[in-house]
Structure 1
Amino acid sequence: MSPATPADRLTDMHTRYAPQLLRYLSGFTGGNPQSAEDLLQETMIRAWRHLDTLPTEPEQTRRWLFTVARNVAIDAIRRRHARPPEVDLGDNDANLEAGPDDTSGTVVAVDSLRSALRGLSTAHRRILNELYVQGHTADETARRLGVPVGTVKSRAHYALRSLRAAVTGHACEPAR
């Protein structure tokens, strides 16, 4: 007997398959239970969105859910690897942080950063804006700007390196 409403069907699927899916997804997250639960939630959201086309036979439903769970996990892994690594400012972090009463230090840091940003090429500023202000991945940025992903990553690397050099006062090669 099938559940009476779509909500009942989703609840039934969650009750029946969530423990198995959670164990399966834990393998993709290195055993991180919070990440596995996030992936499970995304899997169930996709099931909810496709509830009208989901197979009704239990074994087919199970296979469908595991396929979706795998795709959700792979997408999450790809997203994690698509963003260029963040640059560590090392010991210079203390110089950029302002204390509660350090208004002048904050003004100097912001002015220094603005000046460094103006010193970047338009291409480098656009890349940083897409990645760090707009929050797009390297792949999304490449598509939006019509350049290869490698170019996005390279420009981000050199732009951040130039910013770090300008803010900290350490010289480096000019950005490409």
Structure 2
Amino acid sequence: MALRREPVQTHELDVRAAYAAHGPELYRFAHHQLGDSGAAQDVVQEVFLRAWRATGSFDPQLASLRTWLFAIARNVVIDQVRRCAVRPWQRDLTDDAGLQAAPGDDLDERLVDAWVVEEALRRIGEDHRVAIVQTHLRGRPHQEVAAELGIPVGTVRSRIFYGLKALRLAMEEMGVEP
């Protein structure tokens, strides 16, 4: 009696193509954040491992592959920095000086955050998006935005409140940790 094998499920993400397209850029990002080439290589490897494992959660309608990979990279870099903060003696075991900068201190981190927020903003309703962009991103007063849109100030505040909730949910769906 022959055993019947179930077909192996293939992942939608072509890891080789994704690595060829985004691997070097992810490495530069990680290296710039961590200041350690070995740690940067580990980060890139972990990014593609997590992406491969979570390929079912990737939806090109929610975010581009590049944005999704950079969101994963951001989380991996943060994990790496936290890991080294807990065990600082491990940095002395490597040839490199170790982690130089904390995430968020640098242009690369802000750029990745901007990509993620831009993708998430595309997912929320137009009214909410306009209210958030005008008040939070452009720094305009609620009264001014309300007058321009021809709606009460309370409606602008309501749209901002519910828009931020929707934005947070969209970012969670994209795999971004709060």
Verify same fold: TM over 0.5: no
Tell me which structure has the larger Cα radius of gyration: 1
Q: TM-score, with normalisation over the residues of structure 2?
A: 0.41
Q: Which has the higher contact order (CA 8 A, sep 6+)?
A: 2
Q: TM-score, with normalisation over the residues of structure 1?
A: 0.41
